[in-house]
Amino acid sequence: MSDKKEYLNEEWYQKVKKKITRISLIILIVSIVIGGGLIATGIIKTDSYKKEAAKINEERYNAAYKESEEKVAAAKQRLSDIATEKEALNKQYDSKNQECDSLNMRDSDWYTKVNQCHREASAIKSKINDLESEEFKLNNANYTVYYDKAIAKNYIFLSIIGGIVIFIGGMTALMVYVIAKKREIRAFGIQQSMPVTQEAIDKMAPTVGNAAGTISKGISKGIKDGLKGDDNK
């Protein structure tokens, strides 16, 4: 008996089949572990950065809101001060105009005095105008809370890659498994087609038998006819 290893026996086939099946299972498990890990990492990281961004945005909003409140309080205080200053300046302006109107035109320096008086009144009026302009700006200022929003990092692409890894691994494992089960698959296909084949054979058998009988009869007749011809000679 030869010591040469036989590769075509059933025992060797079963061993190889088990190895290939085991490989397909390993591929599937590895792809699920790696893909699942990527999916979980993507979800966890995305959620973590969302929470961190939300916390930062809350802190920034609170800081901006506090600053806005301080600006509003300062504006209110300034408006109150402006009102007080305007009241005082208006009184000064009215008093100065009365002073200018009360100057005696008979005085030799009346022209100089009245010009100086009007200049002083104009200076007071200019201050009043400046205060009114400042008051208008404060009343129409925008105190909306603005802050730079933190944008959360998105790692959803890791989850997508994980899904692709699982899909490719699953398809690869399936193909390897099909290779291991190829003989069973072929046997199943043949088994499924056998009834149809058998039915066709059964239907064809009488026809083939009749044809064979006819051919046999023809051959026998020909032989007999030949023998008769020989006898007549």
Taking only the tens place, the pLDDT of each residue in 65-97 is 888 888 889 989 999 999 999 999 999 999 988
CA angle centred on 18, ends 15 and 20, rounded to 5°: 110
- CA-based nearest residue to 166, from 44, 43, 40, 21: 40
Q: Taking 50 as the threshold, does the pLDDT of residue 3 lie above it? A: no
Tell me the HSE value of 188 on the side-chain side, using a 13 A CA sphere: 5
Domain ranges of the chain: 10-180
Q: What is the mean pLDDT of residues 176-203?
A: 59
Q: What's the pLDDT tens digit per position in 25-66?
A: 898 999 999 999 999 999 999 899 899 999 998 998 898 888
Say if residues 152 and 52 touch (Cβ distance below 8 Å): yes
Q: Give 30's contacts (C-beta < 8 A, 6+ positions apart).
A: 169
Instruction: Mean pLDDT check: name the lowest of 68-72, 82-86, 143-147, 151-155.
Output: 143-147
Token pair of 82 as six digits = 């402006």
Instruction: Mean pLDDT check: name the lowest of 2-6, 15-19, 22-26, 137-141.
Output: 2-6
Token pair of 229 as six digits = 């011809």
Q: Give 92's contacts (C-beta < 8 A, 6+ positions apart).
A: 124
Distance (Å, whole) CA 191 – CA 86: 108
Q: What pLDDT is attached to residue 2? A: 45
What percent of the chain has a predicted confidence (pLDDT) above 70? 72
Distance (Å, whole) CA 72 – CA 91: 29
Q: What pLDDT is attached to residue 217? A: 55
Residues 129, 135, 138, 141, Cα dihedral to 10°: -70
- CA-based nearest residue to 180, from 34, 5, 28: 28
Say if residues 51 and 153 touch (Cβ distance below 8 Å): no
From residue 30, give the alpha-carbon distance in Å to each of 44, 84, 127, 174: 21, 80, 82, 14
Q: If DSSP codes are grouped into helix, strand and coil, which group holds residue 97?
A: helix
Confidence class for position 127, pLDDT limits 50, 70, 90: very high
Q: What pLDDT is attached to residue 166? A: 92
Confidence class for position 107, pLDDT limits 50, 70, 90: confident
Entry pTM: 0.49
Q: What's the pLDDT tens digit per position in 194-209?
A: 555 555 555 555 554 4
Mean pLDDT of the chain: 78
Q: What is the mean pLDDT of residues 11-27?
A: 79
Q: Taking 90 as the threshold, does the pLDDT of residue 106 lie above it? A: no
Q: Taking 50 as the threshold, does the pLDDT of residue 188 lie above it? A: no
Q: What pLDDT is attached to residue 1? A: 43
